[in-house]
Amino acid sequence: MAYQALYRLYRPQQFQDVVGQEHITKTLQNALTQEKLSHAYLFSGPRGTGKTSAAKIIAKAINCEKAPVREPCNECDACRGIMNGSISDVIEIDAASNNGVDEIRDIRDKVKYAPSAVQYKVYIIDEVHMLSIGAFNALLKTLEEPPKHVIFILATTEPHKIPLTIISRCQRFDFRRITSQALVSRMNTVIESQSIQAEGEALHLVARAAEGGMRDALSILDQAVSYSEGNVTTEDVLAVTGSVSQSFLSEITKAFQDDDAVGALRHVNQLIERGKDPVRFIADLIYYYRDMLLYQAAPNLEEVRDRAQADQEFETLAKQASREWIYEVIDTLNQSQQEMKWTNNPKIYLELAIVKLSQGNASAKTQESSIDVQPLIQRIEKLEQELKTLKATGVASVNGTVNGEQKQPKRTFQSKTPKAKVSTGRIKEMLNGASKKDLQILRGKWGDIMEDIKSRMVNAHAWMVAATPVASSNGAFLLAFQHELHSQMANKDNIRECVEAVVAERIGHPMTMMTILEEDWKTVKESYIKEQRQTPSGEEEEAPKQEEKEEDPVVNEAIKLVGPDLIEIED
């Protein structure tokens, strides 16, 4: 007898053999025992998940001589005839090659005839989405009201291509991707019955490569058995599938985190020399980082991970990597993957992505670099509470008295924490040189400035996101903040240097950053405008004549500063 492929030899013959689809098999078994089968079913789902196998099991179960039963006996003449294809009442049609109106009309004409060998005539139409619109229309009436002795079972991998008028006439069952654990369990059963030796890690690699399809898993296993020399090893599966081992992915990830571009490129060259597909490798790497992100969110949910097993090396890398860095890696690799699909030299785009990810800031890639601001917030809240208490009980005046009592001078120390506000004098001095044109230029480029800050320092962007430019001169700019904490953090040396550097690049010359709270800015702005409208002696100017209003330099200066919309001139 000729050799038979494993996926054909171990095709499910009972519902209990359909792995990973318990939500469907239980429903169908109950319908069989209660004799409440529908006249039409639609099975949809990924390839190799058991759609056609389930349809044939239904055909055997309803025609079994022991019916009604939950499982076909596979021993009676009807079951054996359906299994070997000798019973003509169970018709399996491939819609990909029989998608015309004439084929469907032929079914419609023959459906009225009673079955010849069994109780029910079953039509199984595989890949039904390939039918033409005319064929679907020819099937509509028959599908809605077939004879009592006919059951239609439609199977498809693309249900969105099927007209809603067809779907509404069927009971729909959606087959799921089979989990890696279920695939490995089924493959263990197969290798035991076939007396095949295989490593546990090798079976896990086969399950990952199958991407949720049992037929794909058994086909890959069959190929690996033929490639191996008696014992299926991890290297055998890697050679057959073209994928890479988890240890190789871990080494690449470690090179990224260490900014080791030389080591990362060396690994890529080894990959290409072994004949691996760059597109397949970059997909494996994306899934590896995806599993790393899921591990950070839910370490105990092993079933949600597709590519990685939680070994010690994987756990260490997942704990070290920051989430922002994982997002960046996935975005970069995904972009390179899209570009590789439209080029004849995918290796170049792979190397570009590797170099880019290996030359970032290593400190920004690890969890330790992220600032824990909670202790700082608690400390600031404590200081604010103490300040309120001091204001209520009285604080030391300039001459050293508290509530009229003389106090001994105490040594003071300058705080290293930057102040949230600068002096009013400095702000007014900057406003003398400020103009509306400079402010418009800064505001026009502020969106690009914030994007540059985000790419350089994520935590700086977080503190600056609520900042609003309110004034700008040739050498300085003023930002207004809603909250004291944001203003204080923005004045930290590393954040200030980052912001000033980005602004200088975008504007074209160095500029000094100044900060103020929004409520204080309103007061300073009103005070500045009032001072500009006074004479040098401190007296208010007389109301200018009507013909002089347009040429008033004070009014012009105020308009340049805050714009004409906020200026109201009264005689």
Contact call for residues 241 and 273 (beta carbons, < 8 A): no
pLDDT band, residue 544 (cuts 50/70/90): very low
In angstroms, the Cα distances linking 211 to 21, 47, 129, 286 are: 15, 10, 22, 14
Each residue's pLDDT tens digit, 257-314: 888 888 888 888 888 888 888 888 888 888 888 888 888 887 776 666 665 667 778 8
What is the rounded CA–CA span in Å between residue 264 and residue 23? Answer: 45
C-alpha closest to that of 340 among 278, 397, 389: 278
What is the rounded CA–CA span in Å between residue 411 and residue 390? Answer: 19
pLDDT band, residue 547 (cuts 50/70/90): very low
Each residue's pLDDT tens digit, 68-92: 899 999 999 999 999 988 888 999 9
Contact call for residues 332 and 356 (beta carbons, < 8 A): yes
| pLDDT (average), residues 139-158 | 91
Task: Of 169-183, 225-239, 539-553, give the lowest mean pLDDT range.
Answer: 539-553
For 481, the token pair is 């903040």
Mean per-residue pLDDT of the chain: 82
What is the rounded CA–CA span in Å between residue 295 and residue 314? Answer: 9
Task: Of 23-27, 125-129, 287-291, 372-376, give the lowest mean pLDDT range.
Answer: 372-376
Q: Give the position of tokens 């009229």.
A: 404
| pLDDT (average), residues 94-111 | 87
pLDDT exceeds cutoff 60 at 124: yes
Each residue's pLDDT tens digit, 133-142: 999 998 888 8
For 93, the token pair is 């049609």
Cα 362 from chain centroid (whole Å): 23
Q: What share of the chain is helix, strand, coil (3-state, %, to 5)?
A: 55, 10, 35
Instruction: Tally the residues of the chain.
Output: 571
363 or 407, which is more confident? 363
pLDDT band, residue 340 (cuts 50/70/90): confident
Task: Kindly give the residue spans of alpha helices, DSSP state H, lying in 244-373.
Answer: 246-257, 261-273, 278-297, 312-320, 323-340, 346-358
Each residue's pLDDT tens digit, 343-373: 888 888 888 888 888 876 555 566 654 455 6
Q: Give the position of tokens 């418009």.
A: 440
C-alpha closest to that of 419 among 487, 476, 471: 487
Contact call for residues 125 and 155 (beta carbons, < 8 A): yes
Q: Look at domain 424-532 and name its CATH class.
A: alpha beta
Domain topology for 246-368: Zinc Finger, Delta Prime; domain 3 (1.20.272)
- The domains of the chain are located at 6-174, 180-241, 246-368, 424-532
Strand partners, 480: 468, 516
Cα 496 from chain centroid (whole Å): 32
What is 6-174's CATH superfamily?
P-loop containing nucleotide triphosphate hydrolases (3.40.50.300)
For 193, the token pair is 């019955």
Fold matches, 180-241 and 246-368: no
Each residue's pLDDT tens digit, 408-428: 444 444 444 444 445 677 888
pLDDT exceeds cutoff 60 at 505: yes
The SS3 of residue 214 is helix
Domain topology for 180-241: Helicase, Ruva Protein; domain 3 (1.10.8)
Burial class (CB in 10 A: 0-12, 13-18, 19+), 557: middle
Sheet (strand 40-44) strand order: 90-94, 121-126, 150-156, 40-44, 171-174
